[in-house]
Structure 1
Amino acid sequence: MRKLFGTDGVRGTANTHPMTAEMALRIGAAVGRYFRRDSSGAHRVVIGKDTRLSGYMFENALTAGLTSTGMNVLLLGPVPTPAVGLMTRSMRADLGVMISASHNPAEDNGIKFFGPDGYKLSDQAEIEIEKLIEEGVRPAQAQNIGRARRVDDARFRYGERVKSSLPRDLRLDGLKVVIDCANGAAHRTAPEVLWELGADVIPVGVSPDGKNINLGCGSTQPLVAAETVVAHGAHVGICLDGDADRVVMIDETGAVADGDQLMALLASRWAAEGQLKGGALVATVMSNLGLERHLAGSGLRLERTAVGDRYVVERMREGGYNLGGEQSGHIVMSDYATTGDGLMAGLHFLAEMVLSGRPASDLARQFDPVPQLLKNVRFDAGQDPLDLQEVKRAIADAESALNGKGRLLIRKSGTEPLIRVMAECEDEGLLERTVDSVVGAVMGAVSA
């Protein structure tokens, strides 16, 4: 069992265990040992970050730990998470590191790792790294300490890669686009890419100050972007999160479309063009039942995985699929990227608008979702409410009530101390009663 790593690296409140400078140094040293263990000679790691104030602290601490074990560090500065996967491969690095807590508030931060192939590390690799962290720092000899240097053009390289995923002659001339960058890692790259493709760009959330990432903006809080779309008469809006690996779309009426709708659009288009490998889309257990029914109606399959875009990617690689993602907006197009890429997915939605001549409101409603309700219950570290008998009984009763009418999903968040209770059911009254009964039992257990 992993102790530090969750579903997407190590994450927590800055200056609180495990997200302290001391721990970041130890993690850097352990990862350096892990990737140097089988060979000698020059080794390199690329480090990117989002715009959080604590990013400076963790960047320096990780650099110290990595160079202490002989790794040479290439600092990319603020770049989207998918740029780190790209740069790890293109710079022939042994390791990629992204310092970000994604959609979480500014006081949180996290550390994500990519292997030399540009893909996130496996559970087994993270378990082995945790063992090395427990063993402590083993520094290299003085003459073997690594170096660190800045790479100034990382965001430009990434921008070119994103544009290259579109047909070369496709332009966005005449398209008015609101782009919400969540005051995060894509605050410069995303508007630049859209402008270079010819769009009339209306930027939102492009003034990071270290403390306002995801604050009242971005994919988890798209209201300002939706209002901006309507106020400016824009054709479409793109909402990214803090590290730009997820996206939600906004149509010209201000309605929000989640990752399920975007995946449905891409899967249908790729299948029609003969580009969808394996006749399937890979998504998590959180994706709406309506998506599964929509795909089945087109002769396509939905392959479900555990929550977390890296589990989606692992299944895609195992089965040879090239499209997957999460309802939250991680969209993985493995023909072009190694992880979720919000900007790239948003551009492909815009490309479909141009190629089809249809408005965003037509494209963003691919299916009618089954009513879905999700509620979260926060618990203290050390607790495990799901092990208590009264909670187990409430879950069993809820499953019995939904039998044949819907589905129930209970899980712990991999990034926050939350129990997530989600259900789907056509009967909205039954849906609400079912979720509330489980939430009530968990809350009673937490407060006891």
Structure 2
Amino acid sequence: MVSVSGVRGRVGDGLTPEVIAQFAAGFGAWALQQARAAGKETASIVVGRDSRVSGQMFHRVVVSALESVGCQVLDVGMAPTPTIQLAVEHNHAAGGLAITASHNPIEWNALKFISPTGLFLDPVESAAMRSIVEGVIPRATWDKLGSTTSVSDAVDFHISQILKLGFIDVKAIRARKFKVALDCVRGAGGAFMPRLLDELGCDVTGINLETDGKFPHAPEPVPENLGELEALVSRAGAEVGFAVDPDVDRLALVSEKGRAIGEDYTLALAAKVVLQHRPGPVVTNLSTSRIVDDIAEEAGRKVVRAPVGEVNVATRMRSEGAPVGGEGNGGVILTEMHLGRDAPVGAAIILQLLLEEKRTLSEIVASYPRYSIVKDKLDRPKA
């Protein structure tokens, strides 16, 4: 299945090494073409993956495909998708490839295409790249092949940038010593979230922190999949529960009462904090409930709606000068960090919310109207 931002499918049934190699090489050729048009001789591509069992195999394929067209590969290894996006910007790379099927079941994997800006490809960029994929991909001769450099500090850099956010009172959060329950669903978050929360002085009780990709439950962080975390919050006496998906771009919250509050509240509550410290509107998509509107109205700001799709929200945020935005699926985008959904950033902002409000999470949620929004998935009709 091919979309604007990537290609995905069931491993061995539609998504094969051959398919991944074709798209990775085509993306590399497109990125190299863009780099040369900008006066550069080479193109560096950041490559990373989540913890899926098929990820290592596809990772080797992607690296080889990029080298075959003459790209220089910056290999960040297993890392959250937002870490990969940030690494593209930080290293002034020509693009990035994230090997992840995000919240999809264990049998799926995917390739996500990242532009030099750190955003996913827009429709124009995607069409240009796909025209290369569907044609004859120009390969490098023996003396122009690319090479690979390991980048071991991508996660460290990401964490350091979160701790430098001006409105996050790291010192006060550390002093508060929040009790946090954490479920990383055995995804890439297991190598990131405990480290971030430790840096923030939290007392963490975690489950599914292994990074072997063997998801213990459906990996999408929606209430029906958070029963184990809800029980952990109650058992540990935690003040908040954090659940992330396998590539750590979505964040779900469980209150101190051991109840998942719904994915719409992640963005809304994060926006509540950001709007107290930064000017501008909130941008969200058309599948987000009115809770975001209530938060924005409370701060005297407007809400701008964009079509569904992270790149649509991010692009609109940039044009509107919005400090915060995202999607009602637990995706928080903070402009001053980078224009991509970032669960670790969302977690830090929620801790700041609890610090500032001096109320429990359930009390904060109860102070707003409760909305219902129905989201369902339909099978794609066969041609």
Q: 1:108 matched to which residue of 2?
A: 108
**What is the rounded CA distance, in whole Å, between the counterparts of 1:68 and 1:150 in structure 2?**
18
**What is the rounded CA distance, in whole Å, between the counterparts of 2:323 and 2:298 in structure 1?**
20
Q: 1:11 matched to which residue of 2?
A: 8
**What is the rounded CA distance, in whole Å, between the counterparts of 1:48 and 1:247 in structure 2?**
20
| TM-score, normalised with respect to structure 1 | 0.79
Aligned pairs for 1:13-412 within 5 A: 13-17=10-14, 19-38=15-34, 39=36, 41-165=41-165, 166-172=168-174, 173-210=176-213, 212-213=214-215, 215-216=217-218, 219-220=221-222, 221-273=225-277, 275-277=278-280, 280-293=281-294, 295-296=296-297, 298-365=299-366, 367-382=368-383
Instruction: Provide the aligned length of Structure 1 versus Structure 2.
Output: 374
Q: Which amino acid in structure 2 is aligned with residue 96 of structure 1?
A: G
Q: Is the 8 A contact 1:259 1:325 kept in 2?
A: no
Q: Which amino acid in structure 1 is aligned with residue 314 of structure 2?
A: V
Deviation per residue, 1:24-68 (Å, 9 max, x gap) = 111111111111115152321110100011111211111111111
Aligned identity (percent) is: 25
Distance verdict in 2 for CA 1:294–1:270, change over 3 Å: closer
| 1:219 Cα deviation after fit | 1.5
| 1:168 Cα deviation after fit | 4.4
| TM-score, normalised with respect to structure 2 | 0.92
Distance verdict in 2 for CA 1:137–1:330, change over 3 Å: same
Give unpaired runs (5+ residues) of structure 2.
Answer: none
**What is the rounded CA distance, in whole Å, between the counterparts of 2:202 and 2:137 in structure 1?**
50
Q: Supply the RMSD in Å over aligned alpha carbons.
A: 2.0
Deviation per residue, 1:101-124 (Å, 9 max, x gap) = 111111101111222222221111
**What is the rounded CA distance, in whole Å, between the counterparts of 1:100 and 1:83 in structure 2?**
13
Q: Is the 8 A contact 1:257 1:365 kept in 2?
A: no
| 1:188 Cα deviation after fit | 1.7
Q: Is the 8 A contact 1:178 1:203 kept in 2?
A: yes
**What is the rounded CA distance, in whole Å, between the counterparts of 1:376 and 1:93 in structure 2?**
35
**What is the rounded CA distance, in whole Å, between the counterparts of 1:204 and 1:163 in structure 2?**
24
Q: Which amino acid in structure 1 is aligned with residue 324 of structure 2?
A: L
Q: Is the 8 A contact 1:217 1:225 kept in 2?
A: no
Instruction: Name the larger-Rg structure.
Output: 1
Deviation per residue, 1:334-384 (Å, 9 max, x gap) = 1112200011101111112123322121234452233333333324432xx
Q: Which amino acid in structure 1 is aligned with residue 333 of structure 2?
A: V
Distance verdict in 2 for CA 1:217–1:96, change over 3 Å: closer
Give unpaired runs (5+ residues) of structure 1.
Answer: 383-448
**What is the rounded CA distance, in whole Å, between the counterparts of 1:377 and 1:197 in structure 2?**
41
Distance verdict in 2 for CA 1:313–1:130, change over 3 Å: same
